[in-house]
A and B are shown apart, each in its own frame.
Chain A
Amino acid sequence: MAPDLLDAYKKMNSSAISLKRISKRYGPKEIIHNLSFDVEPGEIVGFLGPNGAGKTTTMKMIAGTSTATSGTVRVAGFDMATQPEEGTKRLGYLPEHPPLYDILKVSGFLNFIANAKGIPRRLRKIELDKVVNACKLENVVESEIYKLSKGYRQRLGLAQALVGDPEVLLLDEPTAGLDPGQIQETREVIRKFGTNHAVLLSTHILTEVTLICSRVAIINQGKLLAIDSPEGLQKALEETSTVGLVTSGNSTSIQEELSNLDNVLSISAKTDKSNRTKITCHVESDDNIESEIARIVIKKGNLFSLNRQSPSLENVFLRYIKESKDLRNTN
């Protein structure tokens, strides 16, 4: 098979980003252990983890600025160890600190990026106008970079990653240092881009993940703890969710009856001055549990409210991090 045909064939069968059992060692210290996951075209994957979890190191290995000690990293089907030029051609990368040349003008800098990415001269102006508009940089195009505010620097960093419409976009904390309005605009840019490209973004802002990501990868201490959609991760923890209710009935007798139910694990109650009792039940996942609880409570008095509280993504995250720590301690 001809080499270009072979490449095309390989590409058809490959994810936009594919990590297979990658590890990274610095001397005796292993920073990343056996990490594997894929990012498909058209999805935005959030990379979540506490500081020092290995997010940036993993990003660097995907971008090819650092090499994995073992395992393979593929970008658009190209191995970053053996074909880095093919991989980097299809990749836009915004590192943690936006890499900018302070002494150049914004236009000069973007021109350099377009040249380096090999964008033909006749398309260059259209391409640069497009990213300048997308990142709202029109007002600063002729300014020197050292004069820019932090928000503009961050957006210029994003703009350079978007130049050339890369298949894969790697963003290391893209909204750090932006004000709320800018954060929203930036998310919009990423969301739009993510509809037909593959985006991997690292963050520790949990709302960001729920707002724009279709899947979340949680990592800690260089290990992948979970990868799923935000809803999927929440559901996994829903097995022991809580049902809260407010009633005017006698709290002791209600508690007694509720504790007889199979799926109720524990109950706590608190009566306030107006004689209303707030009861919290920890329950095992069961679709009918709310109606059963309601039936019991109504027999004893008025039911003012009843709701099931799903764990927030924050709880999911903290739980995974805690579990990984416990596991390490017992080992």
Chain B
Amino acid sequence: MNALLLAAENTVSGNIGAIGYGLAALGPGIGLGIIFGQGVQAIARQPEMTNVIRQNMLLGFAVTEALALIGFVVPFVHS
């Protein structure tokens, strides 16, 4: 068991920025799921409002994805 841990310590290498991005992607992932899920539901309930709904859906998508994109860029900036 101890030897296994030591072996893992010696071989696992990488950038901690990858883990950071994984964490940063959690929130926007949930947010995007909510936005598009509710958006599709709204379109299904009122198909005649499709254009307005899609417009607002994409605007909300743009704001939510900002967090994931910042998480993507920060490791490059700090490396």
Is chain B a partner of chain A in the same complex? no
Q: Give chain A's interface residues, CB within 8 Å of chain B.
A: none
